[in-house]
Protein backbone atom coordinates (compact mmCIF):
# COMPACT_ATOMS: atom_id res chain seq x y z
CA UNK A 1 0.00 0.00 0.00
CA UNK A 2 1.27 3.50 -0.89
CA UNK A 3 2.10 5.86 1.95
CA UNK A 4 1.42 9.59 2.16
CA UNK A 5 1.57 12.10 5.00
CA UNK A 6 1.16 15.73 5.96
CA UNK A 7 4.12 17.30 7.76
CA UNK A 8 3.58 20.29 10.01
CA UNK A 9 4.07 21.67 13.49
CA UNK A 10 1.52 21.73 14.97
CA UNK A 11 -0.40 19.19 12.89
CA UNK A 12 -2.74 17.55 15.40
CA UNK A 13 -5.84 19.37 14.15
CA UNK A 14 -5.09 18.77 10.46
CA UNK A 15 -8.12 17.70 8.41
CA UNK A 16 -5.91 16.32 5.64
CA UNK A 17 -5.97 12.64 6.78
CA UNK A 18 -9.78 12.72 6.82
CA UNK A 19 -9.95 14.46 3.44
CA UNK A 20 -7.56 12.08 1.70
CA UNK A 21 -9.22 9.03 3.24
CA UNK A 22 -12.51 10.27 1.79
CA UNK A 23 -10.92 10.86 -1.64
CA UNK A 24 -9.36 7.38 -1.58
CA UNK A 25 -12.65 5.73 -0.71
CA UNK A 26 -14.55 7.69 -3.33
CA UNK A 27 -12.08 6.89 -6.13
CA UNK A 28 -11.34 3.29 -5.06
CA UNK A 29 -7.66 4.03 -4.47
CA UNK A 30 -5.63 2.05 -1.94
CA UNK A 31 -3.47 4.35 0.16
CA UNK A 32 -2.47 5.28 3.66
CA UNK A 33 -2.25 8.94 4.77
CA UNK A 34 -1.31 10.23 8.19
CA UNK A 35 -0.46 13.48 9.96
CA UNK A 36 3.06 13.74 11.33
CA UNK A 37 4.49 16.41 13.63
CA UNK A 38 8.04 17.26 12.57
CA UNK A 39 10.41 18.99 14.98
CA UNK A 40 11.56 22.44 13.86
CA UNK A 41 14.80 22.28 11.89
CA UNK A 42 14.39 18.59 11.05
CA UNK A 43 12.24 18.75 7.92
CA UNK A 44 14.84 17.63 5.35
CA UNK A 45 16.05 14.78 7.52
CA UNK A 46 12.56 13.41 8.21
CA UNK A 47 11.40 13.86 4.60
CA UNK A 48 14.51 12.11 3.26
CA UNK A 49 13.79 9.11 5.50
CA UNK A 50 10.15 9.07 4.44
CA UNK A 51 11.00 8.80 0.75
CA UNK A 52 13.88 6.37 1.37
CA UNK A 53 11.43 4.07 3.10
CA UNK A 54 9.16 4.07 0.05
CA UNK A 55 6.84 6.98 0.87
CA UNK A 56 5.11 8.32 -2.25
CA UNK A 57 4.09 11.86 -1.39
CA UNK A 58 3.85 14.56 1.25
CA UNK A 59 1.70 17.55 1.97
CA UNK A 60 3.48 20.31 3.80
CA UNK A 61 1.87 22.82 6.09
CA UNK A 62 3.04 25.57 8.46
CA UNK A 63 5.94 26.17 9.07
CA UNK A 64 7.72 23.94 6.53
CA UNK A 65 6.59 25.17 3.10
CA UNK A 66 9.91 26.96 2.53
CA UNK A 67 11.90 23.92 3.67
CA UNK A 68 9.88 21.82 1.21
CA UNK A 69 10.62 24.37 -1.52
CA UNK A 70 14.33 23.90 -0.89
CA UNK A 71 13.98 20.13 -0.54
CA UNK A 72 12.43 19.55 -3.97
CA UNK A 73 14.67 18.51 -6.89
CA UNK A 74 12.24 19.95 -9.46
CA UNK A 75 9.64 22.67 -9.05
CA UNK A 76 6.44 23.50 -10.90
CA UNK A 77 6.17 27.05 -12.24
CA UNK A 78 3.49 27.93 -9.72
CA UNK A 79 5.62 26.61 -6.84
CA UNK A 80 8.54 28.70 -8.04
CA UNK A 81 6.36 31.82 -8.22
CA UNK A 82 4.83 31.09 -4.81
CA UNK A 83 8.27 30.52 -3.30
CA UNK A 84 6.71 27.71 -1.32
CA UNK A 85 5.80 24.04 -1.73
CA UNK A 86 2.81 22.28 -0.18
CA UNK A 87 3.02 19.05 -2.21
CA UNK A 88 5.96 16.71 -2.76
CA UNK A 89 5.86 13.63 -4.99
CA UNK A 90 8.51 11.05 -5.70
CA UNK A 91 9.03 10.43 -9.41
CA UNK A 92 9.98 7.28 -11.34
CA UNK A 93 13.67 8.18 -11.31
CA UNK A 94 13.62 8.77 -7.54
CA UNK A 95 13.83 12.56 -7.72
CA UNK A 96 11.38 14.70 -5.76
CA UNK A 97 8.90 17.00 -7.51
CA UNK A 98 7.58 20.03 -5.61
CA UNK A 99 4.32 21.81 -6.39
CA UNK A 100 2.04 24.35 -4.75
CA UNK A 101 -1.70 23.67 -4.95
CA UNK A 102 -2.90 26.40 -2.56
CA UNK A 103 -3.60 29.05 -5.18
CA UNK A 104 -5.43 26.77 -7.54
CA UNK A 105 -7.39 25.47 -4.53
CA UNK A 106 -8.51 29.00 -3.65
CA UNK A 107 -9.46 29.83 -7.23
CA UNK A 108 -11.42 26.58 -7.69
CA UNK A 109 -13.35 27.20 -4.51
CA UNK A 110 -14.17 30.81 -5.36
CA UNK A 111 -14.87 30.29 -9.06
CA UNK A 112 -16.24 26.74 -9.35
CA UNK A 113 -17.84 26.08 -5.96
CA UNK A 114 -19.05 29.53 -4.97
CA UNK A 115 -19.56 30.80 -8.51
CA UNK A 116 -17.99 34.20 -7.88
CA UNK A 117 -16.54 35.57 -11.09
CA UNK A 118 -13.17 37.27 -10.73
CA UNK A 119 -12.71 38.52 -14.27
CA UNK A 120 -12.58 42.33 -14.50
CA UNK A 121 -13.32 42.57 -10.78
CA UNK A 122 -11.49 44.71 -8.24
CA UNK A 123 -9.84 42.43 -5.69
CA UNK A 124 -8.40 43.37 -2.30
CA UNK A 125 -6.09 40.88 -0.61
CA UNK A 126 -5.39 41.34 3.10
CA UNK A 127 -1.97 40.25 4.36
CA UNK A 128 1.42 39.82 2.72
CA UNK A 129 2.79 36.65 4.33
CA UNK A 130 3.41 33.18 2.98
CA UNK A 131 -0.28 32.36 2.64
CA UNK A 132 -0.86 35.33 0.32
CA UNK A 133 2.27 34.74 -1.74
CA UNK A 134 0.95 31.26 -2.54
CA UNK A 135 -2.29 32.50 -4.10
CA UNK A 136 -1.33 35.61 -6.10
CA UNK A 137 -0.27 33.83 -9.31
CA UNK A 138 -3.48 31.79 -9.80
CA UNK A 139 -5.56 34.82 -8.70
CA UNK A 140 -4.01 37.12 -11.31
CA UNK A 141 -4.64 34.45 -13.96
CA UNK A 142 -8.38 34.96 -13.39
CA UNK A 143 -8.06 38.37 -15.06
CA UNK A 144 -9.16 40.76 -12.31
CA UNK A 145 -9.21 44.46 -13.27
CA UNK A 146 -6.68 44.94 -10.48
CA UNK A 147 -5.43 43.44 -7.23
CA UNK A 148 -4.44 45.52 -4.22
CA UNK A 149 -2.53 43.91 -1.35
CA UNK A 150 -3.07 45.69 1.97
CA UNK A 151 -0.83 44.88 4.90
CA UNK A 152 -0.07 46.16 8.39
CA UNK A 153 3.58 46.40 7.32
CA UNK A 154 3.08 48.32 4.07
CA UNK A 155 6.57 47.63 2.76
CA UNK A 156 5.94 43.87 2.66
CA UNK A 157 2.83 44.41 0.54
CA UNK A 158 4.72 46.62 -1.91
CA UNK A 159 7.58 44.14 -2.26
CA UNK A 160 5.20 41.26 -2.83
CA UNK A 161 3.23 43.20 -5.44
CA UNK A 162 6.45 43.99 -7.31
CA UNK A 163 7.28 40.31 -7.53
CA UNK A 164 3.99 39.59 -9.32
CA UNK A 165 3.61 42.69 -11.51
CA UNK A 166 4.46 40.78 -14.68
CA UNK A 167 1.33 38.66 -14.21
CA UNK A 168 -1.21 41.48 -14.00
CA UNK A 169 -2.18 44.82 -12.50
CA UNK A 170 -1.18 44.61 -8.84
CA UNK A 171 -0.08 47.06 -6.14
CA UNK A 172 0.64 47.03 -2.42
CA UNK A 173 -0.34 49.46 0.32
CA UNK A 174 -1.40 50.04 3.89
CA UNK A 175 -4.82 49.75 5.57
CA UNK A 176 -4.86 53.54 6.04
CA UNK A 177 -4.65 53.93 2.25
CA UNK A 178 -7.97 52.12 1.76
CA UNK A 179 -10.12 55.02 2.98
CA UNK A 180 -12.09 55.79 -0.20
CA UNK A 181 -11.48 52.66 -2.28
CA UNK A 182 -14.06 50.03 -3.30
CA UNK A 183 -13.68 46.36 -4.11
CA UNK A 184 -15.82 43.55 -5.52
CA UNK A 185 -13.96 40.82 -3.65
CA UNK A 186 -11.95 40.93 -0.43
CA UNK A 187 -9.81 37.91 0.45
CA UNK A 188 -8.48 37.72 3.99
CA UNK A 189 -5.07 36.05 3.92
CA UNK A 190 -3.85 37.40 7.27
CA UNK A 191 -3.47 35.23 10.33
CA UNK A 192 -5.51 37.80 12.31
CA UNK A 193 -8.54 35.48 12.61
CA UNK A 194 -6.45 32.98 14.56
CA UNK A 195 -6.15 35.45 17.44
CA UNK A 196 -9.74 36.66 17.05
CA UNK A 197 -8.54 39.88 15.40
CA UNK A 198 -9.76 41.78 12.36
CA UNK A 199 -7.58 43.89 10.06
CA UNK A 200 -8.59 47.58 10.32
CA UNK A 201 -10.97 47.99 7.37
CA UNK A 202 -13.00 51.10 6.61
CA UNK A 203 -16.77 50.89 6.13
CA UNK A 204 -18.31 50.84 2.62
CA UNK A 205 -15.22 49.30 1.07
CA UNK A 206 -17.27 46.45 -0.44
CA UNK A 207 -19.21 47.24 -3.62
CA UNK A 208 -22.96 46.49 -3.77
CA UNK A 209 -22.45 42.95 -5.03
CA UNK A 210 -19.11 42.57 -3.24
CA UNK A 211 -18.02 39.22 -1.78
CA UNK A 212 -15.77 38.35 1.13
CA UNK A 213 -13.59 35.24 1.48
CA UNK A 214 -11.58 34.26 4.55
CA UNK A 215 -8.81 31.74 3.88
CA UNK A 216 -9.27 30.57 7.49
CA UNK A 217 -12.11 28.33 8.61
CA UNK A 218 -13.62 27.05 11.81
CA UNK A 219 -16.85 25.89 13.42
CA UNK A 220 -18.01 29.51 13.76
CA UNK A 221 -17.69 32.47 11.35
CA UNK A 222 -14.39 34.35 11.73
CA UNK A 223 -14.24 38.03 12.83
CA UNK A 224 -13.62 38.97 9.18
CA UNK A 225 -16.70 37.05 8.02
CA UNK A 226 -18.81 38.73 10.69
CA UNK A 227 -17.46 42.12 9.66
CA UNK A 228 -18.36 41.38 6.01
CA UNK A 229 -21.88 40.29 6.94
CA UNK A 230 -22.27 43.57 8.84
CA UNK A 231 -21.19 45.42 5.71
CA UNK A 232 -24.00 43.57 3.89
CA UNK A 233 -21.68 41.65 1.62
CA UNK A 234 -23.46 39.89 -1.24
CA UNK A 235 -21.87 36.61 -0.15
CA UNK A 236 -19.37 35.47 2.48
CA UNK A 237 -17.32 32.28 2.74
CA UNK A 238 -14.65 30.74 4.90
CA UNK A 239 -11.69 28.79 3.51
CA UNK A 240 -12.83 25.22 4.09
CA UNK A 241 -13.49 24.72 0.38
CA UNK A 242 -9.98 25.94 -0.42
CA UNK A 243 -8.55 23.37 1.98
CA UNK A 244 -10.42 20.54 0.26
CA UNK A 245 -9.64 21.84 -3.24
CA UNK A 246 -5.89 22.12 -2.62
CA UNK A 247 -6.01 18.56 -1.24
CA UNK A 248 -7.86 17.37 -4.37
CA UNK A 249 -5.17 18.90 -6.58
CA UNK A 250 -2.45 17.14 -4.54
CA UNK A 251 -4.38 13.87 -4.74
CA UNK A 252 -4.59 14.29 -8.51
CA UNK A 253 -0.82 14.87 -8.78
CA UNK A 254 -0.14 11.69 -6.78
CA UNK A 255 -2.83 9.35 -8.09
CA UNK A 256 -3.77 10.75 -11.49
CA UNK A 257 -7.48 10.83 -10.52
CA UNK A 258 -9.51 13.93 -9.66
CA UNK A 259 -11.90 13.36 -6.76
CA UNK A 260 -15.32 15.01 -6.47
CA UNK A 261 -14.83 17.67 -3.80
CA UNK A 262 -18.45 18.61 -3.00
CA UNK A 263 -19.31 15.63 -0.75
CA UNK A 264 -15.96 15.92 0.99
CA UNK A 265 -16.45 19.62 1.74
CA UNK A 266 -19.83 18.69 3.26
CA UNK A 267 -18.27 15.85 5.26
CA UNK A 268 -15.55 18.06 6.74
CA UNK A 269 -18.05 20.85 7.37
CA UNK A 270 -20.14 18.48 9.48
CA UNK A 271 -17.10 17.37 11.47
CA UNK A 272 -16.31 20.98 12.44
CA UNK A 273 -19.34 21.56 14.61
- The single residue among 129, 177, 218, 221 that binds ligand ATR, judged by CB under 6 A, is 129
Q: Which stretch binds ligand ATR (CB under 6 A): 28-36, 112-120, 149-157, 225-233?
A: 149-157
151 binds ligand ATR (CB under 6 A): yes
| Interacting span for ligand ATR (CB under 6 A) from 5-13, 42-50, 135-143, 185-193 | 185-193
Does residue 127 touch ligand ATR according to CB under 6 A?
A: yes
Best CA proximity match to 35, nearest among 64, 15, 65:
15
**Binder to ligand ATR among 70, 112, 197, 209 (CB under 6 A)?**
197
Output the smallest distance, CB 16 to ligand ATR, in A. Answer: 17
Q: Which listed range, 19-27, 109-117, 128-136, 139-147, lies at the site for ligand ATR (CB under 6 A)?
A: 128-136
Binding residue (CB under 6 A) for ligand ATR from 49, 91, 95, 153: 153
User: Does 127 show up as a binding residue in the annotation?
Assistant: yes
Answer yes or no whether residue 218 interacts with ligand ATR by CB under 6 A.
no
208 marked ligand binding residue: no
The yes or no reply on residue 128 touching ligand ATR (CB under 6 A) is yes
- Identify the helix (H) or strand (E) that includes residue 150: strand 146-150
N- to C-terminal Cα distance for the chain?
A: 32
Cβ-closest position to ligand ATR? 129
Q: What is the DSSP string of 3-54?
A: EEEEEESS-TT--HHHHHHHHHHHHT--EEEEEEE--TT-HHHHHHHHHHTT
Q: Edge-to-edge strand order for the sheet containing 87-90?
A: 31-37, 2-8, 57-60, 87-90, 96-99, 74-75
Amino acid sequence: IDHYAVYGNPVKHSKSPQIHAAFAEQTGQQLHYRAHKVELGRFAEVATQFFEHGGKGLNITVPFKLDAFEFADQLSGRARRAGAVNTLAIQEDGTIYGDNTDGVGLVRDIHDNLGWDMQDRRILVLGAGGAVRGILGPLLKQGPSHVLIANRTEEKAQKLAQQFEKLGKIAGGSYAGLASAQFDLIINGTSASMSGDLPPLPSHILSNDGCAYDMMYGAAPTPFMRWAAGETAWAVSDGLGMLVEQAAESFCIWRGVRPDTKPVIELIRQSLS
